[in-house]
Amino acid sequence: MDRGDRPGIPDVVIVVTDGKSDNEQATKDEAIKIHEAGINTFVVGVGDTLNTDELNMIATDPDFEHTYFAGDFDVLVNITQDLVEHTCFDPVCKDRTTDIVFILDGSSSITADEFLMLKDFVKNVVNRLDTSTTRVGLLTFATGTNIDWNLNKYGQKSDLLAAINEVTQIGGSTHTAEAIRVVREQMFTTENGDRIQVPNVIVLVTDGVSKDVDPLPEAQKAKDAGIAITCVGVGNEFKQAGKKAQDELNGISSDPDESYVFEVGSYAELEGVAAKVTQRTCYPDVCGTAKIDLAILLDRSASIPLDDYLLMLTFTKDLANKVDIDAEHFQIAVVTFSDTITTELVLNQADSREKFINAIDNFPLELEGATNHADVIALANDVIFTSANGDRPDASNLILIITDGVSTVKTEQTVVEANRAMAAGITMIAIGIGPELTENNVYLGTIASDPDELYVYSIQTFTDLNTIQNNLLERSLCPSNNTVCSGITDIIFALDRSGSISTPNFEILKSFIIQLLNGLDIGENKNRIGVLTFSDNAEIIINLNEFFDVTSIVNTIQTLQAGPGATYTANAMAKARDEMFIEGNGDRPDIPNVLVLISDGVSTVNPGETAPEALASKQKGITLVTVAIGDQVNDAELSEIASSRDFMFNVTRFEDLPNIETALRKSVCNDEDDCTSIPCLNGGICIDELVSHTCQCPADFSGFNCNHECNGYIDLVFVLDTSGSIFEANFDLVKTFVKDIILNLPISSSKTRVGAVSFATSAQRNFYLNTYFDNRELLNAIERIPYTGGATNIAEALQLIRLDIFKEVNGDRASVPNVVVLITDGASTVSSYDTLPQANLLKNSGAHIVAIGVGNELKPSEIRGMATDPDADNALIVENFFNLRLLEADMLTMTCFDTDDCTSVPCQAGGQCIDKVNSFECVCPNGRSGPTCSLTCNGEKDVVILVDSSGSIGEDNFKKVTDFVHDLVDSLEIHNGLYQVGVATFADDAVLEFHLNTYEKRSEILNAISSIQYTKGATNTAGGIELARTMFSPQNGDRINADNLLIIVTDGVPRVRKGEERSQADTAKANGIQIKTIGVGPNINADKLKELASSPTDENVRTVIDFNSLGNQIESLRQEICA
């Protein structure tokens, strides 16, 4: 730095040589050092004695941009311009203040070499940016998204270029919508470096069409939030997709497409569009194609200190930095005034942004004299806006006057000249600075065009000029942006005027509402407007049928005063719903209803009523939009109120309200009839709504557009894990999966109902089965389920469903199946001992459980134990949260198709068939058994099965043992009470699973067997037999007239209480218990099995080669038991 290097300024080295290095290795070492230091290195080779490989090694990558060749020194001049353009940042981007996020497609269809060229393209663009004023973030995406760095991560260009080198390709499919959503919600935030009043830009580079959901809605949300989107389509896959890919990028990008969409055939061609992409990126086109002749009138009277005047000049330059100054867009003249008038620039004097800014830098700085508004306005009207000085007949003429006080020269003539200018078709915009004008807004209004909300700005200090820059551009200078909503909606504004809002802030709020109304087409057959205010109670100010013109509504709003009192939000919603959205007060059937609730704080009067009132309003079809001001609001409460996150707006100060005007107006504007395209299929009836449509589907069809066949109706409860191991981004994927399922279900009070429970350290009921009967409201409710973090308490969630959700008072219906879909990423960590018992209680109450496990932190046996049999259909495990979507088709089949499995009469011998979810159950007559009553099973027995759970078996083999036990029991005559079954396991210790009299139904016994957990440990056969003997007792279900049978399944010899097992077996046999032993695998001791078994041993001892062969023993064993 002591030799002139400047921090934050890009470093460039240009090497000019006509030969080879004398020491190639040393040259290479030094080149590596200079690259690592982030220095951009260009090489110019002259003549024909060069080492091309050496020159490419010295130059920064890519070589084609940093290596130049000339045949001799005479022709060096031919490469000068190209070299200059590459060694400097793009002149158009100098001093540009922009926040840019690159979204790079990292899907598997892009090769590694192509991804390197993609990164080179990004470096090429970044190299052209002025990173002293521009911030850059980057996200890569495929099936998932990865934020490589946020906007506030790197401030030096060298650091950015180094970071780009480290970006890795993540692989997978192309999920563009999710990438845009993450950038909008997570990267363009103040905590991650997004700057207020600075344009936001996305540069999306992709090789193909999105393979997931339609990205256009997410792109529209981004554009509605003020984000400009530039798209680059590249490569063969993009070309092969043809019009579909082009249409998608055109839909994603900002308008016009020809300015914001770039297409190249190969990755090598990306460098050819880098310059154009850079200019579009660092210069988001705020005013579009607007053609404007602007005269800026700057006050240089003696009352303005020099520092403040310099701030005014800086503001003028910053304003010019945001527009395109040329013959087809903006021309800007500048006139300064005190008691004398000086023309500094006429319209056609500075024909580029650079020339304009340079001229401003050379303005004289003498500040003196009084304030003469009349003459400066007259000069602009009579002199500046003439063809000789560049006035264009097809351009809009605007005057922007910036002053710190009222006119003190020719005061009476000021309004006359302003009116004369406006009569000539000039739009007058006034900015007043300081107390004299902030307290006297009337004066500014007399010299500005109407309405004041668009053309009058009053600020306290010159430093506040920056805060109005974007609003000045979007609201006042670029009239094409002030689009009027011509849709048809019934809109009510509910304004908080409680004591926490000061009189000045309430005045700002009124101005904001008036400004918003000026962008709505209001009329009896257009948008209707109602207004209410609320504090301790709500008061109706204007009903929907009271005024059909904006002037009357504005005049009424102007009379409102701030007041005292608390904040009774619930009462505002109730009054709007019950007294305003009614036909007698102007509400129109079949026209969307919107309530815009604006408040600066949390509900303080009866806050417990807020969520229920919001729900009641939404159930009536009212879209609730919230506008929160300041830091005293409650995000959780707002989430409960708003119809969705898309209808939630917040600003930090009342002064910031204009920043959300465009997005808020678009959110309440129903300017497109979504039913025009006839989207509802299969005879569905389309109902146009605020931002979309609803299809009323005929019987047996469901889905957003009635595109899904669905004839099954269920009571469905989703159980969602929100524990800390999931992380919020993954929980969003869970909610997306759930919403995708719900979207295709026939939701109504008479068809499918949905409830939800979430759990972490404890369980939380999110909503009952009878809370929502509307698909959209249900989707919004799922979206509002919060991520909490914490431990994993599945047991409490399952208990909550059984005791609270599946109750008639809470919407459960006896006539339809109960289905539970549980999604978790890990094993229970709270009350884990109770998880499977609670699952069994829930299944035994008639619920069908689908357990979905995600990731590798699971306990698979717990997933299987919770799920309804068979595991193949109901115990589902996926590798990651992105793969949840692979289950959607199966889930929809299960929840949608009501196939009566009893139609085929599967139950034999007169067995009664009971239809279940995707299955059936046969109730067999006496003497018959098996899943279809196809088997004969006589006699009456109490059977205890003792299962070895020691470490030598392993979890996979233990699952085969429990499957064997499950299928054996399923073949016995359980229903009529002829056979009773109990189960115990043993390892280090013996464990009672259930007694002979614990369960009476076959389904309950089978559920319990499926839930048995593997324990590991040594082999305590003696302890197992000892426990089994106690199970054959009257209090535990043993019957005097029934034979007692003990079946022992083991894979080895006893290791604990070794030697006692024989005496325990002898005691059992002496008590009349028949013992059958089954040995599995190569480590069994046949003599020991015979020692334990009853006589004759050839009938009571079985050995099998391995656990896979256990199933082969079921039929012969069943015949022995049933004989």
pLDDT of residue 482: 47
Q: Is residue 1 part of a domain?
A: no
Answer whether the bond into residue 215 is a cis peptide, omega within 30°: no
Q: Is residue 904 part of a domain?
A: no
| Across 133-147, 272-286, 439-453, least confident range | 272-286
Q: Is residue 483 part of a domain?
A: no
Taking only Cα atoms into account, the Rg of the chain, rounded to an integer number of angstroms, comes to 38
The average pLDDT across 480-500 equals 81
Is there a single domain that holds both residue 689 and residue 753?
A: no
588 residue type, one letter: R
pLDDT of residue 1039: 93
At 91, is the pLDDT very low, low, confident or very high (cuts 50, 70, 90)?
low
pLDDT at 324 over 60: yes
- Between the alpha carbon of residue 494 and those of residues 531, 650, 661, the distances in Å are 6, 15, 16
Contact assessment for residue 369 and residue 403, using Cβ atoms and an 8 Å cutoff: no
Is there a single domain that holds both residue 651 and residue 785?
A: no
Most confident of 413-427, 510-524, 643-657: 413-427
Is there a single domain that holds both residue 851 and residue 793?
A: yes
pLDDT of residue 137: 96
Task: Please state the pTM of the whole predicted model.
Answer: 0.54
Is there a single domain that holds both residue 318 and residue 466?
A: yes
Is there a single domain that holds both residue 817 and residue 832?
A: yes
Number of domains in the chain: 7
pLDDT of residue 9: 52
Quote the CA–CA distance of 901 and 921 in Å, as a whole number. Answer: 9
Q: Is residue 363 part of a domain?
A: yes
Is there a single domain that holds both residue 381 and residue 525?
A: no
Is there a single domain that holds both residue 429 and residue 303?
A: yes
pLDDT at 688 over 90: no
Residue carrying structure tokens 């997570």: 186
- Between the alpha carbon of residue 665 and those of residues 638, 703, 910, the distances in Å are 19, 29, 68
Answer whether the bond into residue 284 is a cis peptide, omega within 30°: no
**pLDDT single digits (tens) 562-618:** 889 999 999 999 999 999 999 999 999 888 999 999 998 888 899 889 988 998 898
Is there a single domain that holds both residue 698 and residue 718?
A: no
Is there a single domain that holds both residue 559 and residue 705?
A: no
Contact assessment for residue 874 and residue 850, using Cβ atoms and an 8 Å cutoff: yes
Q: Per-residue DSSP letters for 141-183?
A: ESSSEEEEE-TTS--SHHHHHHHHHH-----S---HHHHHHHI
Pairing of strands 701-702, 693-696: unpaired
Is there a single domain that holds both residue 1086 and residue 972?
A: yes
pLDDT of residue 536: 92
Mean pLDDT of the residues in the chain: 88
Overall residue count recorded for the chain in this entry:
1123
At 8, is the pLDDT very low, low, confident or very high (cuts 50, 70, 90)?
very low
pLDDT of residue 84: 61
Helix (H, G, I), strand (E, B) or coil at 916: strand
Contacts of 538 (CB under 8 A, 6+ apart): 494, 532, 568, 571, 572, 574, 575, 576
Domain range for 881: 710-896
Quote the CA–CA distance of 94 and 320 in Å, as a whole number. Answer: 12
Q: Is residue 6 part of a domain?
A: no
The average pLDDT across 716-735 equals 92
Q: For residue 410, is it left (φ>0), alpha (ψ between -120 and 50) or beta? A: left
Q: Is residue 482 part of a domain?
A: no
**pLDDT single digits (tens) 802-844:** 999 999 999 999 988 999 999 999 889 999 889 999 999 999 8
pLDDT at 326 over 50: yes
Q: Which of 892, 837, 526 is nearest to 702 (CA)?
A: 892
At 181, is the pLDDT very low, low, confident or very high (cuts 50, 70, 90)?
very high
Residue carrying structure tokens 């999966």: 737
Quote the CA–CA distance of 539 and 572 in Å, as a whole number. Answer: 8
Instruction: Annotate 93-121 with b (16+ C-beta within 10 A) or e (fewer).
Output: bbbbbbbbbbbbbbbebbeeebbbbbbbb
Q: Is residue 943 part of a domain?
A: yes
Other CB atoms within 10 Å distance of the CB of residue 424: 11
Q: Which two tokens stand for residue 681?
A: 């299929």
Contact assessment for residue 332 and residue 380, using Cβ atoms and an 8 Å cutoff: no
Q: Per-residue DSSP letters for 304-349?
A: S-HHHHHHHHHHHHHHHHTS-BSTTSEEEEEEEESSSEEEEE-TTT
**pLDDT single digits (tens) 1056-1108:** 898 899 999 999 999 999 999 999 998 898 999 999 999 999 899 999 999 99
Q: What is the CATH number of the domain that holds 69?
A: 3.40.50.410
pLDDT of residue 420: 94
Most confident of 395-399, 469-473, 1008-1012, 1027-1031: 1027-1031
- Between the alpha carbon of residue 481 and those of residues 452, 651, 930, the distances in Å are 17, 21, 74
At 848, is the pLDDT very low, low, confident or very high (cuts 50, 70, 90)?
very high
Q: Which of 139, 143, 140, 169 is nearest to 151 (CA)?
A: 139
Is there a single domain that holds both residue 956 and residue 1091?
A: yes
pLDDT of residue 897: 65
Last residue of a domain, one of 608, 635, 668: 668
Instruction: Print the SS3 string covering 793-810.
Output: CHHHHHHHHHHHHCCHHH
Is there a single domain that holds both residue 719 and residue 751?
A: yes
Contact assessment for residue 1020 and residue 987, using Cβ atoms and an 8 Å cutoff: yes
pLDDT of residue 413: 94
1061 residue type, one letter: E
Q: Which two tokens stand for residue 581?
A: 């959205």
Q: Where are the beta strands (DSSP E) in 917-1058?
A: 919-923, 928-929, 935-936, 941-948, 979-986, 990-994, 1043-1050
Answer whether the bond into residue 62 is a cis peptide, omega within 30°: yes
pLDDT of residue 1002: 85
**pLDDT single digits (tens) 198-225:** 788 999 999 878 877 788 889 988 887 8
941 residue type, one letter: K
**pLDDT single digits (tens) 767-806:** 999 999 888 788 888 988 989 999 999 999 999 999 999 9
Last residue of a domain, one of 65, 87, 109: 87
Percent of the residues in the chain that have a pLDDT greater than 70, as a whole number:
96
Quote the CA–CA distance of 917 and 891 in Å, as a whole number. Answer: 12
pLDDT of residue 6: 55
Quote the CA–CA distance of 88 and 111 in Å, as a whole number. Answer: 31
**pLDDT single digits (tens) 1033-1058:** 999 999 998 999 999 999 988 888 98
Q: Is residue 916 part of a domain?
A: no
**pLDDT single digits (tens) 342-374:** 999 999 999 888 789 889 988 999 999 999 999
pLDDT of residue 1095: 93
- Compute φ and ψ for 496, nearest 5 degrees: -75, 120
pLDDT of residue 437: 82
Last residue of a domain, one of 282, 313, 334: 282
Q: Per-residue DSSP letters for 436-495?
A: HHHS-HHHHHHHSPSPHHHHEEEESSGGGGGGGHHHIIIIII-GGG---B----EEEEEE
More confident residue, 482 or 171: 171
pLDDT at 683 over 50: yes
